[in-house]
Chain A
């Protein structure tokens, strides 16, 4: 018998069977949808749409009863790890627990059911939230103004680089190059290229910071600016940050702050005080929007007073009469979003900032840094610490020696950790560390959880050393919904839709 119909079995839980696709669960003629009684004339499609535009056949979709729809997607949720379930120590991703009250804010009809094309007279509440968020983000970063339009961090990067370009254009300068450290996130070089700049990579010194001598070598008046994450992707604060920003400013370049790791320095130091001119924030990481399996996010960009005229528009503003409206800055680079940005994500960020206040944000940074340092010290001697100094919000360890001695690779550590009940850390990043394990516990994991994570990581290394092989970890994970996935086959025999299934020979 086919899988069709309401076989509401729990078999697909945790690996006992695959979950059929929704298309296989369908049965022609079955349905869930119902609509308002509308009293309208029942014109047929042929009366409504001229023949030349009309489809001969409707697009085929799965046809399921509501009960089966619920069973299918509920079973899928049982095959999915999430922050609400357990720790998610993915380095650079800041997978903290997100307060439910922020989700509740975003679900309020008074915010969620507002049409973005509404006139300002009926969106005063929304505009007030956005203006207050802009003000708070400026206070946190030490900047003068911000745009909330960019939909995610990468869009924020592109925005910042277009602002950089507009600034130099306005000064009649053509500067073709942007500097990026070799430890940078991949979005940085990709954004630089997409904004029409050429990437110049600068090296990392022995202490894990920007190599100042190398930086000075590549600096000249062709340099439009430099993108920097601080703390960087090694989890280290750039000790020479003032020298770095001064050197770039000395040749007329601008400093761009990648806010991916802002969590570590909330209330401790502001990018503006380090000498940055442009700052993007990943509010979905730092200010608690759940990541949704890959998105949505929001990537506001804040700038200092030299760049405010170039910000995208239209921009929510406080009007002299106390009401709120829109304004486009005089030399705006233009629009970056169809409407006003990822508003419900921004609302969550606003709510999170209010729940924390200044003290709470400082506490976030302190606990995040405390957890990361404790974990690093706890794992000293278990894994290598390639750049051995106190870290900020995350630590980068290496399994290089273990790999040589036992064959245990960072990937194996990750897979064995899944089996032990935790999500894996980020592996093989940053690229400058061999067999990298990049671990970010975040501030919301208790000391007990961090200790348990450390124990699990220790067990993986200890058992490999004891056995003299990585056999145990290579077989992992065995307790997850599926075992190790054949990624090569996925790429070689691409099946990216249900309809391509038949095209692939086994």
Chain B
């Protein structure tokens, strides 16, 4: 045997086999029918040492371009280049958090459970709703669960979804809607924000959920009270996809009538990570807690009356309710949730306001600088916060390629067919608190050169 992480010596293996009355390791697999056993071993490359692995990883990493000083990031679209301080990296990589399992035995899992309790409190406050779960896979997965929950609550399977919701999230919603059989109807954007007049014309009287994002995919701020009126009139649940960074300065979705709030929590301490693992934020009203998907941590006491934490309302979950469960989620993103709690602890009240404000300042400065260039136009006139879409004289893919050479990831192209023809082919640009005036000035100069 040559398994690098198996501690057994040959002598120990022989002794253990002898104890079992066996003479070879192969005999352990006697219950596997001979006809289907693999002859000749797996067709995989040879075993590497850790040093070999590191060499190969360095070669592969050299074929990627991470964001940083050499590639200044103006891309967003649901994944943002935020500050992650050393203290957050250090605490979040503690092996007690990293190598624990799901807290099924609360007596030896108080660390993770309490961190999740604190995380749930922070998410509830950010969303303006009473209850937040202990995380879902990512923002898109949270949206799918939110729609399932609203549909289950109302018993109505039509879903009105604003075109301002991240198109990749909507694609995922579409995929997962095939099982439960939701009928998804799009509500278009006008001037960069959802045209609820159009929804008003919809005859649908079986609408279970109305979904809107703010800021939306184009970065524009949506009028949530308009969405709330529509959902209220239709008797549907209002599901709001929010940007938790924007929560630093905007009214909470909960205070504006959202029934369910979902979002992407990557901004709080998780690196860009080529798209995952991220963090699905999910919050709802207290009265709906028994339909909440995923794990929930509650505070209680132990036999001696000491404060203790435990996963609670477990009867909602798949391992108990099985086919009657409203969600199949089991593994979640606890480590990212704990990381977010640590990052939000580092930020504090003023820090979160500062992240939002600095991001918005950078966005305004950058947008004005780019709009000053010949042929660059806003794709949507509505007010934005930290992300905005532009029409450029050069198609966005080409522009992005050219700016890579100058050391900028200029943004992401707005995909054809998902945000309405008015916006397709525009360039989506995002700024975070990490962008400086010097970077933006250099970016605008390179942009100018590239579009000429």
Contacts and interface: CB of A to CB of B under 8 A. Distances in A.
B321 to A, nearest CB: 7
Chain A CB within 10 A, most for which of B33, B341, B348, B383: B348
Nearest to A424: B105
B116 to A, nearest CB: 8
Contacts of B355: 35
B196 to A, nearest CB: 16
A33 B343 CA distance: 9
Given A33-B346, A390-B28, A162 B19 contact: no
B376 interface: no
Nearest to B214: A53
A366 B352 contact: no
A485 B401 CA distance: 57
Given A105-B57, A370-B8, A157 B328 contact: yes
Nearest to B138: A338
B82 to A, nearest CB: 10
A377 B20 CA distance: 7
Contacts of A444: 5-7
Contacts of B54: 101, 104
A357 B328 contact: no
Chain A CB within 10 A, most for which of B4, B106, B296, B352: B4
A121 B435 contact: no
Contacts of A355: 4-5, 47-50, 53
A158 B79 contact: no
Contact of A19 (B114, B273, B299, B314): B114
B274 A269 contact: no
B105 A125 contact: no
A190 B328 contact: yes
A356 B304 contact: no
Given A195-B179, A267-B41, A269-B37, A363 B1 contact: yes
Given A295-B335, A370-B16, A359 B3 contact: yes
Contacts of A494: 286, 289, 298, 312-313
B19 A41 contact: no
Contacts of B79: 115-117, 339
A369 B28 contact: yes
Interface stretch (A58-66, A400-408, A457-465): A58-66
Interface stretch (A81-89, A247-255, A301-309): A81-89
B358 A84 contact: no
A307 B230 CA distance: 41
Interface in B334-384: 334-336, 338, 341-342, 344-355, 357-358, 360-362, 364-365, 383
B178 interface: yes
B247 A59 contact: yes
Contacts of B43: 139, 358
Interface string A239-260: 1011000000000000000000
Given A115-B75, A290-B98, A48 B174 contact: no
Nearest to B339: A292
B75 A117 contact: yes
Nearest to B166: A338
Nearest to B181: A196
B197 interface: no
Interface in A168-189: 185-187, 189
Contact of B31 (A95, A389, A414): A389
Interface string A63-76: 11010011011101
Interface residues of B, number: 211
B8 A48 contact: no
B349 A483 contact: no
A80 B96 contact: yes
Interface size class of A (residues with CB under 8 A): 35 or more
A321 to B, nearest CB: 15
Given A62-B348, A113-B272, A363 B3 contact: yes
A144 B300 CA distance: 50
Contacts of A342: 137, 276-277
A332 B120 CA distance: 36
A192 B364 CA distance: 48
B303 interface: yes
A335 interface: yes
A232 B47 CA distance: 29
B328 A194 contact: yes
A55 interface: yes
A71 B446 CA distance: 46
B174 A334 contact: yes
A237 B31 contact: yes
B28 A335 contact: no
B445 interface: no
A104 B336 CA distance: 17
Given A90-B101, A116-B272, A484 B303 contact: yes
Interface in A4-44: 15, 18-19, 21-23, 26, 30-44
Contacts of B271: 112-113
B131 A497 contact: yes
Given A63-B350, A79-B111, A341-B276, A43 B61 contact: no
Contact of A49 (B174, B313, B321, B383): B383
Interface in B271-324: 271-278, 286, 289, 295-304, 306-310, 312-314, 317-324
A139 B44 contact: yes
Chain A CB within 10 A, most for which of B19, B110, B286: B110
A124 B64 contact: yes
Contact of B117 (A124, A153, A496): A496
Chain A CB within 10 A, most for which of B16, B79, B90, B409: B16
Contacts of B65: 114, 118, 122-123
Chain A CB within 10 A, most for which of B7, B36, B87, B117: B36
Interface string A292-316: 1111111000000000000010000
Contact of A152 (B48, B330, B354): B330
Contacts of B360: 43, 45, 48-49
B78 to A, nearest CB: 6
A217 interface: no
B449 interface: no
A90 B433 contact: no
Chain B CB within 10 A, most for which of A112, A125, A297: A125
A370 B427 CA distance: 57
B325 interface: yes
Contacts of A97: 5
Interface in B1-32: 1-8, 12-13, 15-17, 19-20, 25, 28-32
Across the A-B interface, the 7 shortest Cβ-Cβ residue pairs: A110-B61, A339-B275, A363-B3, A80-B111, A292-B335, A116-B275, A357-B47
8 contacts: A60-B125, A107-B93, A122-B65, A338-B264, A343-B275, A364-B5, A483-B306, A484-B107
Given A19-B110, A499-B121, 6 more contacts: A116-B273, A116-B274, A125-B62, A292-B98, A337-B172, A485-B302
